């Protein structure tokens, strides 16, 4: 703390101050009343999150502060490749320089506010962000892989009627570092609890990734870069409800990761009731965007599809899906539904699932039936809603 004599209640360095002593003028040889303040070292100006700067901007900052440009590379490696959370741990940076960094920047890393483990080994993390908001991420273990299910937004704005996350108001987009940190956390948990590496990443958590386009792609860039986590883009899947213009933008941007579409019906009227976005991004428009995607990338798409009792469990529904699958090379994941209340959505019968398998198989469509994991901790598909 700093003591100073001043006529203002703010230090010249921008810190808050409060009165601790007033000395009357008769003790001060006619100088007038002197007011002494205690100045606390909490800046009124917010510090910048250092991870918001790219490497070039870091170099500029170091040069402006009379430091060697190579310091930027050192700090960048600490932040991204080694996922450091504290300037004090940057051991190849001098103490004065670390203090200089601390005086200008913060590292707004995430914190696991609560971790739950399922009977099947699934781990759900309630992740606290720097502003106190919470998102959820999930580690999904199987015999052959460990997958990180990652959130991209706080809440969601798309109002899918069957999804718990849709009941949450969208508060904001996640920053690239907040997305990146979720992956780092699950990577560490995979090593700690399973002694195995993280193998796959799916953007199927809270929020619509394409409505946070810039930050999601920047985060994936860090995740796949040699100076980041160095993961292969082929092991990353981005799932979208079908924002058609942004599917085309993905193709134009020549992304290398995989694309999945949350479909759930290939009949416009039904899909619009399930997913209101279908009213402005119809199946015809989605088909056009997917043709464009395939023409640019030559990569098949995965359709994520839940079959509900009495809603889309009839032959006409399966045949419509089989027809939609002919638009471009594709495969279908039939996903077990996880009820979020006692509402109208209930898992279809095994006979209905078998019907889908038969019809899709007859049209040479590859189909996988995905069993839910983490249901006992509300970590399964469609259940993420900050209930932990």
Q: Give the right CATH number for 111-377 from 2.60.120.10, 3.20.20.70, 3.40.50.150, 3.40.50.2000.
A: 3.20.20.70
Per-residue model confidence (pLDDT) at position 15: 37
Per-residue model confidence (pLDDT) at position 163: 80
Q: What is the pLDDT along the chain (388 residues), one digit of tens a residue?
A: 433 333 334 343 333 434 334 444 444 444 444 444 444 444 435 899 999 999 999 999 999 999 999 999 999 999 999 999 999 999 999 999 999 999 999 999 999 999 999 988 999 999 999 999 999 999 999 999 999 999 999 988 777 778 876 677 778 999 999 999 999 999 999 999 999 999 999 999 999 999 999 999 999 999 999 999 999 999 999 999 999 999 999 999 999 999 999 999 999 999 999 999 999 999 999 999 999 999 999 999 999 999 999 999 999 999 999 999 999 999 999 998 877 666 688 889 999 999 999 999 999 999 999 876 656 655 545 444 444 4
Which are the catalytic amino acids? 136, 381
Per-residue model confidence (pLDDT) at position 206: 92
Q: Structure tokens of 81?
A: 């490749």
Rg (CA), the chain: 26
Integer CA distances (angstroms), 5 to 15, 19, 171, 346, in order: 14, 10, 44, 71
Beta bridge partners of 135: 127
Domain boundaries, given as residue ranges, for the chain: 2-43, 48-106, 111-377
Confirm if 185 and 110 have CB atoms less than 8 A apart. yes
Confirm if 202 and 149 have CB atoms less than 8 A apart. yes
Q: What is the pLDDT of residues 192-216, one digit of tens each?
A: 999 999 999 999 999 999 999 999 9
Could you give the CA distance from residue 372 to residue 206 in angstroms, rounded to a whole number? 17
Own/partner pairs, 124-129, CB within 8 angstroms, 24+ separation:
124/374, 124/377, 124/378, 124/379, 124/388, 125/182, 125/185, 125/186, 125/189, 126/386, 126/388, 127/151, 127/181, 127/182, 127/185, 129/154, 129/174, 129/178
Per-residue model confidence (pLDDT) at position 312: 96
Q: Structure tokens of 188?
A: 């560490």
Among 37, 43, 54, CA closest to 222: 54
Per-residue model confidence (pLDDT) at position 341: 66
Distance of CA 113 to the CA centre of its chain: 16
Beta bridge partners of 148: 139, 201
Confirm if 3 and 19 have CB atoms less than 8 A apart. no
pTM: 0.83
Among 232, 240, 231, CA closest to 210: 240
Pairing label, strands 2-5, 34-43? antiparallel
Per-residue model confidence (pLDDT) at position 371: 76
Per-residue model confidence (pLDDT) at position 344: 81
Q: What does DSSP assign to residue 156?
A: -
Integer CA distances (angstroms), 12 to 22, 37, 44, in order: 19, 12, 12
129: left (phi > 0), else alpha (psi -120 to 50), else beta? beta
User: Per CATH, which fold does 48-106 belong to?
Assistant: DNA polymerase; domain 1 (1.10.150)
């Amino acid at each position: 703390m700093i003591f100073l004599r001043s006529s203002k209640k703010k230090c010249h360095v921008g810190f808050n101050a409060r009165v601790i002593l007033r000395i009357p003028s008769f003790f001060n040889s006619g100088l007038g009343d002197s007011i002494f303040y205690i100045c606390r070292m909490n800046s009124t100006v917010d510090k910048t999150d250092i991870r918001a700067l790219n490497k070039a901007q870091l170099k500029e900052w170091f040069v402006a502060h009379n430091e060697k440009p190579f310091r930027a590379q050192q700090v960048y490696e600490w932040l991204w490749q080694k996922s450091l959370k504290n300037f004090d741990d940057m051991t190849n940076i001098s103490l004065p320089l670390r203090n200089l960094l601390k005086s200008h920047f913060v590292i707004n890393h995430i914190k696991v506010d609560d971790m739950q483990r399922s009977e099947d080994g699934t781990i759900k993390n309630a992740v606290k962000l720097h502003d106190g908001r919470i998102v959820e991420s999930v580690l999904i273990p199987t015999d052959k892989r460990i997958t990180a299910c990652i959130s991209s937004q706080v809440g969601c704005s798309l109002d899918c009627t069957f999804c718990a996350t849709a009941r949450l108001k969208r508060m904001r987009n996640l920053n690239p570092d907040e997305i990146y940190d979720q992956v780092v956390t699950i990577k560490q948990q995979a090593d700690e609890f399973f002694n195995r590496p993280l193998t796959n990443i799916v953007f199927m958590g809270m929020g619509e990734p394409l409505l946070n386009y810039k930050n999601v792609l920047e985060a994936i860039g860090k995740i796949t870069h040699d100076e980041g986590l160095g993961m292969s883009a082929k092991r990353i899947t981005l799932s979208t409800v079908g924002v058609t213009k942004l599917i085309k933008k993905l193709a134009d941007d020549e992304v290398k990761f995989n694309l999945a579409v949350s479909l759930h019906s290939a009949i416009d009227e039904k899909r619009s009731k399930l997913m209101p976005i279908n009213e402005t991004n119809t199946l015809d428009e989605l088909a056009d965007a997917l043709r464009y995607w395939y023409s640019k990338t030559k990569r098949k798409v995965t359709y994520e599809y839940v079959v509900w009792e009495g809603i889309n469990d009839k032959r006409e529904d399966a045949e419509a899906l089989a027809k939609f699958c002919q638009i471009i090379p594709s495969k279908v994941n039939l996903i077990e539904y996880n009820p979020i209340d006692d509402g109208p959505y209930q898992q279809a019968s095994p006979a209905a699932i078998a019907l889908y398998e038969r019809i899709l198989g007859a049209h040479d469509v590859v189909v996988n039936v995905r069993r839910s994991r983490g249901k006992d901790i509300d970590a399964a598909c469609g259940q993420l809603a900050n209930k932990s």
